[in-house]
Amino acid sequence: MSIKDRLRNAAKGSIGPADNDSRFLLDVHSRALPGRQTMQQYDDDDEVDLAIVGAGAGGSVLAQRLARKGWRIVVIEAGPFWDPDKDWVSDEAGSHGLYWTGKRIIGGADPIELGKNNSGHGVGGSMVHYAGYTPRFHPSDLETFTRDGVGADWPIRYEDLLPHYERVERELPVSGQNWPWGHPHSYPFSPHPVSEAANVVWRGAEQLGIGMRVGPVGIVNGTFGNRPHCIYRGYCLQGCKVNAKASPLVTHLPDALAHSVEIRSDCMAARIELDESGRARGVVYLSEPGGAERLQRAKFVAVAGYSIETPRLLLASTSARFPHGLCNDHDVVGRYVMVQGATQTAGRWPEELRMYKAPPPQVSSEDYYETDTSRGFARGFSIQTVSPLPIGWAEHVLADGHWGRAMREYMRDYNHWATVGVLNELLAHPDNRITLADEVDAYGLPVARMDYSLTENDKANEAYSTKVITDILKAGGAQDVLTIHRYAHLIGGARMGSSPGTSVVDANQRSWAVPNLFLADGSVCPTQGSANPALTIMALASRLAERMADGSAMSDDPEQRAGPFRARQPVG
Amino acid sequence: MPSRSDDNAIDKDPIDKDPIDKGPIDKDKGEHLPHLRADGAPPRPSWLPRQRRGITPQMIGRYPDYDVLENADTWDEMTRGVVLARLDPPGPLRFFEPSEEATLRAFCDVTTGQDEDPRVPVAESVDAKLADGKLDGFQYADMPDDRDTWHLVLAGLDESAHERFRTGFGQCRLDEQEQLVRDFAAGRLSGGSWNELNVSRAWSVCMRAILSGFYSHPWAWNEIGFGGPAYPRGYMRTGALNTTEPSESRGATQEDPVGTVRRESEEFPG
C-alpha cells in the first residue's frame, strides 16, 4: 500500500472536498434546496457564458465546476425542480413522476424497456432514482479494441479520468471496502454494515472462491456536512428523502446555486440554433406544451440529456447546413448506444432475510470483469446484490413464469429471498441506435425511437453470468431460485473519438462540427464496461469542466482534439 | 348464465382435487413453492393461516398478526397520503367501457389469484392509470399505444372465450379462464383482435399494470409481511437472521405454541 493510500485510509470519513460546499448548503430540517429561493435569473437575451441542457449527473457537475470559475450559466431541464419533502414518497407506484414517461418507441430484435428502468426526469436526473452503486470503470474499458478486438478505444486514458474519479468520490461521498479490481483504490468512507440478505450471497460466493467486497455506494456512512447517515429504509430507487444517497441535487447543485447558476426547470429544449458562422447561438426551448419558443443565448452550449435525449436533440436540430441533424454529417449521432445486461436471480432460504431493509446496493464482485477466453466470449460482467421491493419482486416472479396463485405463493415468501444481479458489458454496435419516430410529443417534438439487438457475444455473456449467480445462490444454500432477464443503464449514442468520421465529439467532448458545442453526459462513452455509469459520467464532466476552464477543450490543434490515446475502432 | 353458475358450484376449484396436498406443508423446506412441488403448481391457499389482524386479500397470508397500517403514523405525511388513498372505496371505471368490465375484472382476478372478497381493487387501479395517461414511457414498435392494447386484449380474451367455451371470458368457469390466461401468457392466442398485437408483449404490458396495482396496496403488504415505508423512522435491525424491528412480526410457523412457550420460559426465566 502506498503512502497516499495509507493516508486516505487513516483519513476515512474525515476529509471532504475542498472546492464544493454543497454538503453545508443543505438544510438539516428540510430537503428542498435553500439556494432555490435566491437563485440567479438570467434573461433569454442575456448571452450567458454557458447554456447546459439537462440537470443530471453530467450537466450538474459541469455547472458547479465552471460556476466556481466565474462562468454565468443557465441549465435548461425538462423536468421539475424537486422538493423531496413534498414530491417524493416511500412508495414504488407513487414514484411515477421520477421517471421519463413521455412516449418513446422501442424496436430491434431485443427492445429495451425504458421509463423507471433507466430514465430520469427532473433536476438531479437519473441519479435521483439510481440504486447508488458507484464503481469506477477499469483501465481496460478504455481500450477494449486494442486489448480484445471488440468495441472501441477511447481517445483518452484511465489516467485522464483518475484525478476526477477521486475528486467525485470525495464529493458523493463513496463508501466501500478497499477495491482490489481494475486500478486498485480505496474509498473516502468506510463500508456500510451488511444485511443478512447480502450475507447469504457473500457466503455462497466464498464457497466458490469468488471475491466479494462491500460497496462501492454513494451513500453517506456517518454524517457528511448537513447530510445525515443512511437510515436503511430501502427506497433508494424511489428518491432518497433522507439526503443520504448522492445525486446531483444534493452533491453539486447547492454549490452551483451558490455560485449563480440558474436551473430553469420544466423547460423542454427543442433544438440548438446556429448563427451564420456555424456557431451555436443558444438553445431554443419551450416552457410549456403549446407555448412560444424561447431562445436562451449563450457563448457555449453543452448538451447533457443522456443517451436518448442528447441524440434526439441533435437529430431534431436540422438546418440547411445540417439536414440530417446537428453534428450528423457522418451518420454517427445516435449510434453505438448501449445498455447493460442486468439479469437478476433470487434464492430462497428457510430463514426470514427481509431484503427490503438496508440499501438495495450492498456487496459486489468484479472477478469476471475482463476477458477470459476460456469463457467463450469477449469482455465480462460484474456481480452486485440488489433488493427489489414488492412490485419489483412481483415483476421478478412473473418473469420466471408465475402468475395467479403461483405468483401469490412466491410473493408471500418474499421475506425469505435474497437477490443478486449481474451487469454484462454488452458491446457497442452501430445498429443499436436512437432515431426520430414519426410521432410527436406534447411539445410537438418528434419522439425518440431506440432500436436494440443483442450480438452473439452479448448472449453468451448473459448465459454464462446467469449460471455464475445461480451457482452462487445454490452454493450459499438456496432451496429454490427465480430468474428475471432484464437490462439496465444507458450509455453511448454520441461517442467521443479521434476522428470526425467515426465519432460525434473529440477527446475534449467538443463536437467536431460546431466549434462551441460540447456534450457533457454518458452519451460520449464509446464503451461501458460492467460498471454502473453514474460515477464515470460525473468524472467525465469534471474533466471537461477543467479543460473548458483553462481553454484546452477549445483547442483546434489536431493532436489535442484526437486525444492522448489515439482511438481505434473496427473499420466499416 | 344461470346454468353456468350451477357448473361453477359443482366444480368450483379444480385444485381442490390436488393429490399433492397430503399432510401439513413444511414451510422451512419450501414445500409450498411451485418449483419444489411434483406438479409445479401451488398448494391450495387453505394451508395458510387466516388473517387475525388487519386485512389481506382473501384474508390469507403468512403474517396473521401483522398489519402494516398500524405503522402509518410513523410515515411521512406525503407517503401516508399516497398509500392511504388506496384504501378509499373505488369509484366507477373511467377508462374502460361498461361492456368491458366483466372481462376486465375476471382477468385481473385470475392473474392475481383473487377468488373472493376482500379483493385488492386491481381493475380500478389499472383503469385509473390508463384514464390519467400515466403510462410507462415506452411503446414497442410492433405494438399500439398501451391504452389501445388494453382494449384489444379484453376483446381478444372475449373472442377466444366464445370460440372455446361459447361464452364471454367473464362468464367462463375459473379453470376455463385460467386455461385462456395460460395461453395468453405463453403467447399462444391468435386470430381476431390478437392479430393486431404482439401477444407476448401485450401480456407484459397488462401484467405491469396489474402487478403494480396489486402490490402497491397495503393489504398485499400485510399478506407478504413487507415492512412498508420507513421514513423518517428507518430500519435499524438489518443484521442477523430473523431479527425483526419492533414494528414487524414473524411469519406463522407450524410449531406447537404450548411447547415453545414452555421452552422459552425455561430458557429465559423471569
Summarize pLDDT for A252-280 with one digit per residue, the tens. Answer: 999 999 999 999 999 999 999 999 999 99
Q: Are strands A268-274 and A338-341 parallel, antiparallel or unpaired?
A: unpaired
CA distance A273 to chain B (A): 28
Place of cell 447546413: A321
Closest chain A CA to residue B245: A357
Grouping H, G, I as helix, E, B as strand and the rest as coil, residue A75 is strand
Answer whether A229's CB lies under 8 Å from A221's CB. yes
Spatial contact of B240 and A242, defined as CB atoms under 8 Å apart: no
Question: What pLDDT digit, counting tens, does each position of A474-498 carry?
Answer: 999 999 999 999 999 999 999 999 9
The string of pLDDT tens digits covering residues A517-563 is 999 999 999 999 999 999 999 999 999 999 999 999 999 999 999 99
Q: What is this model's ipTM?
A: 0.94
pLDDT for residue B241 is more than 90: no
Give the rounded percent of residues in chain A with a pLDDT score beyond 70. 99
User: Of A194, A146, A172, A202, which Cα lies nearest the Cα of A60?
Assistant: A172
Residue A451 cell numbers, joined: 432500436
Which parts of chain B fold into alpha helices (H)? Answer: 2-10, 77-84, 101-112, 122-131, 146-165, 174-185, 199-215, 218-224, 257-267
Cross-chain residue pair B113–A115, CB shorter than 8 Å: no
Q: Is the CB of residue B233 less than 8 Å away from at least one CB of chain A?
A: yes
Which domains are seen in chain A, by residue range? 38-87+100-562 (3.50.50.60)
Nearest C-alpha in A relative to B36: A480
Does residue B2 register a pLDDT over 70? no
Identify the pLDDT of residue A9: 75
Residue A237 has pLDDT above 60, yes or no: yes
Minimal CA separation from A140 to chain B, in Å: 33
- Hey, are the CB atoms on B235 and A357 less than 8 Å from each other? yes
Residue B42 to residue A390, Cβ atoms within 8 A: no
Say yes or no for a CB contact (<8 Å) between B212 and A92. yes
pLDDT value for A571: 47
A35 within 8 A of A14, measured Cβ to Cβ: no
Given a cut of 80, is residue B239 above it in pLDDT? Answer: no
- Joined grid coordinates for residue B244: 425483526
Nearest chain A residue to B144 by CA distance is A105
A234: left (phi over 0), alpha (psi -120 to 50) or beta: left
Interface touch A391/B235, C-beta < 8 Å: no
Residue in A233, A352, A405 nearest the CB of B42? A405
DSSP code for B85: G
Flag whether pLDDT at A383 surpasses 70.
Answer: yes
What integer is the mean pLDDT of B213-217? 98
How far, in Å, CA of A533 to CA of A299, rounded? Answer: 29
CB contact, 8 Å: B221 with chain A?
A: yes
Q: Are B104 and B154 in contact (CB under 8 A)?
A: yes
Report the interhelical angle of A404-412 vs A390-399 (nearest 10°): 130
Q: CA A319 to CA A274: how far, in whole Å?
A: 9
Give the minimum alpha-carbon distance from A90 to chain B in angstroms, rounded to a whole number. Answer: 5
Residue entry with cell 380474451: B157
Mean pLDDT of all residues belonging to chain A: 95
Strand intervals (E) in A127-230: 213-214
Q: Which residue has the cell 407513487?
A: A94
pLDDT for position B252: 80
Strand partners, A107: A451
Which among A105, A196, A480 has the least Cβ separation from residue B30? A480
Copy the grid coordinates of residue A510. 467538443
SS3 label, residue B191: coil
Pairing state of beta strands A433-440 and A417-424?
A: unpaired
Res. B191 pLDDT band, cuts 50 70 90: very high
- Facing A390 at nearest CB: one of B15, B145, B220: B220
**Cell numbers standing for residue B157:** 380474451
pLDDT in tens, A187-213: 999 999 999 999 999 999 999 999 999
Percentage, residues of chain B above pLDDT 70: 85
What's the Cα-to-Cα distance from B84 to each of A493, B43, B114, B249, rounded to whole Å? 42, 32, 21, 21
Q: How far apart are CA A425 and CA A435, in angstroms?
A: 23
- The larger pLDDT score, comparing residue B157 to residue A117, is at B157
Containing A74, the helix (H) or strand (E) segment is strand A73-76
HSE-CB for A121 with a 13 A CA cutoff? 22
Specify the pLDDT at position A12: 78
- Max alpha carbon distance in chain B (Å)? 72
From A472, A473, A212, A467, select the one nearest A348 (Cα to Cα).
Answer: A473
Per-residue model confidence as pLDDT tens digits over A412-464: 999 999 999 999 999 999 999 999 999 999 999 999 999 999 999 999 999 99
Of residues A194, A242, A404, nearest to B231 (C-beta): A242
Helix axes A158-171, A534-549, angle to 10 degrees: 110
A394 contacts B215? CB cut-off 8 A? yes
Residue B270: its pLDDT value, please? 52
Q: Do A94 and B30 touch (CB under 8 A)?
A: no
What pLDDT does residue B15 have?
A: 42
pLDDT value of position B246: 74
| A–B CB contacts, 8 A cutoff, strictly below | 225
Please give the grid coordinates belonging to residue B150: 388494453
- For residue B140, which residues of chain A lie inside 8 Å, CB to CB? 105-107, 111
pLDDT at A570: 54
B59-111: per-residue pLDDT in tens?
A: 999 999 999 999 999 999 999 999 999 999 998 999 999 999 999 999 999 99
Residue A456 phi/psi, 5-degree rounding, is -60, -40
**Distance (Å) from the alpha carbon of A555 to chain B's nearest alpha carbon:** 40
State residue B257's pLDDT score: 67
Read off the pLDDT of residues B141-188 as tens digits, 9 standing for 90 and up.
999 999 999 999 999 999 999 999 999 999 999 999 999 999 999 999
- What does each C-alpha distance from B224 to A437, B62, B70, B113 come to in angstroms? 42, 6, 15, 14
Q: A228: cis peptide before it, omega within 30°?
A: no
Q: Rounded to 5, what percent of chain B is helix, strand, coil? A: 55, 0, 45
Please tell me the predicted confidence (pLDDT) of residue B267.
Answer: 63
The answer, yes or no, to whether residue B11 has pLDDT greater than 60, is no
Predicted local confidence at residue A5, as pLDDT: 73
Partner-chain residue, chosen from A101, A358, A394, that has the shortest CB–CB distance to B137: A101
